[in-house]
């Protein structure tokens, strides 16, 4: 590795930073007062021949209050799982499911009160074709394989999957004649199936309201959409069905590493002695890798915001599309130094598997790993920018918006490998976009390595199929009537906007991975996801959860501990009692 040139590049940004080689990595230390500088130093430290960047430059005065469960018990004390998976995002849950095919004991821990509460529930659910990736990237390998695995996996798990195409649209003739053929060629070289050109005539058969500037598009027929949190939950459910144990509200606080081996893992619920540790900790994966003595990378959190539109506006996009960024936008539409250009495809407009239009995302570097808050500038900028693509878009179409944090590494690639410095650890780290697409393929590799490392065998009775109730509103009248005849709760509609019945909510409460929160129910069967955002149904959902669980309504949580919705009886209720 050429440390000298790296040092020169970094020192040009911040002369006070120390640049050194550490165990094959480039390590940066020091203290700066600007996150932007720290980020740029990290980017400058990427170099061939290095294992990765360890950016340990501190941001002056910065600290993040990271959420940790207050729960402290010994539920896991002394547990000796064959594999401990740290992190219950889509990567961790997909790994747990793959591991549950094996004749071994699997424990997955997540610090939240549900799986899939981080980036896995804060993205657009796009199954990417991989056209923006490059040969040699781990990302490309996993995206191509993951994309192929999705249809069958979703069939088994009972999750919706649609092969809705993705289009990269051109606003100028030169892009149409130069970029388009190059992209199609690149698609062929990377082995991406079904990449073709869409002319101005053909677009009318594909989209109802294509942009007025449309000069042509490259279409990726292998793109698709899923509900990312539903897939995560379904993977977890299926893992649990097959014997994996999932411990929620469980945070890893430390590891004991001796002679290049993780001996024990401390949690708030007791000390665990796993034979193998899988790091799928998302935005915290560098911290977990560090605990395991195997860190070769650094996470720099990158926030993205997406807007969700009313289903009435579903005609804006029948597939998903974005405007090519090669030609600059007209001057009056340009954003002023707002975006971290280059690490998002610029966002776009897409139809989710549930029929909403999703607009975004953008990309902003930030020091916070858990700050999922939204801000007005981002929301307004996304509306302004995507108005170029969905030209009828207006702020009034937006029913809600959310932000998520991408677990990006400075190499902008996934870290999926066996431990380098610690022998009984596997990294599935730095998984950001397109991590939803990649997860099933990452899980196959990780489980394969685990199998070989543990000398494990396939289980005789693995059941890949997760029984589930179909979304009743989508059924024919006859089929729906059959369900209601069997269980009248299926005929009682609780959420009017999304047409969700009481029966479906109770089914969600009885899932293999039991999560009895309002958000948990919402992510599983959608009450509160419509245009009234739970205004009408949230009291009913609270009541159903309370009755089903035999608890008082004030004990029902929205999400994690501390998220109580109600504070007990009113004064007058007390008088009446």
In the complex, the residues that contact other proteins under the rule CB under 8 A are 67, 312, 370, 372-376, 379, 395, 398-402, 473, 477-478, 480-481, 484-485, 488-489, 491-493, 496, 499, 501, 531-536, 538-539, 542-543, 553-554, 557-573, 576
> Is 153 exposed, middle or buried (CB count within 10 Å of its CB: 0-12, 13-18, 19+)?
buried
User: Cβ closer to other proteins: 452 or 482?
Assistant: 482
What single-letter DSSP state applies at residue 546? H
Cβ atoms of 82 and 276 within 8 Å: the answer is yes
Minimum distance, C-beta of residue 327 to other proteins, in the bound complex (Å): 31
User: Cβ closer to other proteins: 133 or 251?
Assistant: 251
533-to-225, 226, 254, 258, 496 alpha-carbon distances in Å:
23, 21, 39, 51, 10
User: How many other CB atoms sit within 10 Å of the CB of residue 215?
Assistant: 20
CB contact set of 18 (below 8 Å; sequence gap of 6+): 28, 29, 30
Q: Which two tokens stand for residue 246?
A: 């999932």
Residue from 428, 426, 432 nearest 409 by CA:
432
Q: Are strands 216-220 and 276-279 parallel, antiparallel or unpaired?
A: unpaired
CA distance 344 to 294: 28
Cβ atoms of 428 and 298 within 8 Å: the answer is no
Cβ atoms of 494 and 506 within 8 Å: the answer is no
User: Cβ closer to other proteins: 305 or 319?
Assistant: 305
Minimum distance, C-beta of residue 67 to other proteins, in the bound complex (Å): 6
Minimum distance, C-beta of residue 573 to other proteins, in the bound complex (Å): 3
For residue 434, whether the previous peptide bond is cis, meaning omega lies within 30 degrees of 0, is yes
What sign has the CA pseudo-torsion 194, 197, 203, 207? positive
CA distance 189 to 550: 59
User: Cβ closer to other proteins: 77 or 547?
Assistant: 547
Minimum distance, C-beta of residue 405 to other proteins, in the bound complex (Å): 13
Hunting for tokens 């990294």 — which residue is that? 427
User: Cβ closer to other proteins: 29 or 374?
Assistant: 374
Minimum distance, C-beta of residue 229 to other proteins, in the bound complex (Å): 14
Cβ atoms of 302 and 339 within 8 Å: the answer is no
Minimum distance, C-beta of residue 120 to other proteins, in the bound complex (Å): 16
User: Cβ closer to other proteins: 332 or 576?
Assistant: 576
From the candidates 128, 141, 364, 468, which is the catalytic residue? 128
User: Cβ closer to other proteins: 34 or 563?
Assistant: 563
Minimum distance, C-beta of residue 233 to other proteins, in the bound complex (Å): 18
Minimum distance, C-beta of residue 467 to other proteins, in the bound complex (Å): 23
Q: Which two tokens stand for residue 3?
A: 């440390």
User: Cβ closer to other proteins: 235 or 382?
Assistant: 382
CA distance 285 to 407: 8
Residue from 273, 208, 216 nearest 76 by CA:
273
294-to-29, 112, 297, 443 alpha-carbon distances in Å:
18, 24, 9, 20
User: Is 461 noted as a catalytic residue in this protein?
Assistant: no
**Catalytic positions:** 128
């Amino acid at each position: 590795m050429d440390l000298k040139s790296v040092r020169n590049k970094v020192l040009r940004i911040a002369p006070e930073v120390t640049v050194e080689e550490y165990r094959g990595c480039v390590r940066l230390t020091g203290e700066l007062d600007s996150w932007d500088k720290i980020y740029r130093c990290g980017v400058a430290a990427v170099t061939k021949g290095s294992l990765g960047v360890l950016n340990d430059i501190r941001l002056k005065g910065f600290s993040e209050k990271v959420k940790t469960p207050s729960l402290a018990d010994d539920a896991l004390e002394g547990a000796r799982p064959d594999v401990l998976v740290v992190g219950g995002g889509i990567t961790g849950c997909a790994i747990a499911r793959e591991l549950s095919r094996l004749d071994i004991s699997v424990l997955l821990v997540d610090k939240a009160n549900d799986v899939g509460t981080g980036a896995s529930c804060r993205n657009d659910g796009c199954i990417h074709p991989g056209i923006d990736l490059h040969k040699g990237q781990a990302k490309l390998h996993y995206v191509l394989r993951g994309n192929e695995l999705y249809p069958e996996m979703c069939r088994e798990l009972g999750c919706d999957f649609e092969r809705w195409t993705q289009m990269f649209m051109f606003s100028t003739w030169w892009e149409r004649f130069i970029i388009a053929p190059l992209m199609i060629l690149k698609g062929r070289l990377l082995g991406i199936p079904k990449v073709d050109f869409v002319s101005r005539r053909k677009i009318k058969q594909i989209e109802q309201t294509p942009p007025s500037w449309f000069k042509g598009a490259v279409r990726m027929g292998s793109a698709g959409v899923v509900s990312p949190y539903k897939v995560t939950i379904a993977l977890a459910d299926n893992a649990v069905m097959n014997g994996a144990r999932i411990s929620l509200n469980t945070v890893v606080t430390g590891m004991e590493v001796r002679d290049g081996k993780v001996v024990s893992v401390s949690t708030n619920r007791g000390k665990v002695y796993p034979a193998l540790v899988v790091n799928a900790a998302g935005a915290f994966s560098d911290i977990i890798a560090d605990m395991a003595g195997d860190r070769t990378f650094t996470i720099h959190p990158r926030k993205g915001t997406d807007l969700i539109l009313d289903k009435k506006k579903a005609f804006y996009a029948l597939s998903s599309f974005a405007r090519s960024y090669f030609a600059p936008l007209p001057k009056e539409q340009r954003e002023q130094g707002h975006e971290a250009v280059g690490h998002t495809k610029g966002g776009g407009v897409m139809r989710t598997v549930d029929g909403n239009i999703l607009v975004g995302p953008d990309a902003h570097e930030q020091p916070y790993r858990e700050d999922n808050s939204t801000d007005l500038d981002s929301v307004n900028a996304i509306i302004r920018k995507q108005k170029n693509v969905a030209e009828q878009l207006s702020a009034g179409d937006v029913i809600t918006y959310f932000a998520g944090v991408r677990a990006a590494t400075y190499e902008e690639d996934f870290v999926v490998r066996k431990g380098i410095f610690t022998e009984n650890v596997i990294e599935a780290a730095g998984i950001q976009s397109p991590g939803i697409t990649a997860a099933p393929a990452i899980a196959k590799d990780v489980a394969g390595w685990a199998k070989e490392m543990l000398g494990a065998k396939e289980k005789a009775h693995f059941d890949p199929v997760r029984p589930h109730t179909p979304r009743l509103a989508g059924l024919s009248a006859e089929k729906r009537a059959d369900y209601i005849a069997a269980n009248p709760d299926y005929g009682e509609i609780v959420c009017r906007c999304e047409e969700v019945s009481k029966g479906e909510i109770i089914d969600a409460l009885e899932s293999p991975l039991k999560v009895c929160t309002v958000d948990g129910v919402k992510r599983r069967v959608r009450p509160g996801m419509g245009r009234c955002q739970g205004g009408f149904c949230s009291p009913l959902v609270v009541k159903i959860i309370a009755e089903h669980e035999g608890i008082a309504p004030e004990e029902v949580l929205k999400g994690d501990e501390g998220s109580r919705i109600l504070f007990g009886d009113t004064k007058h209720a007390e008088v009446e009692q």
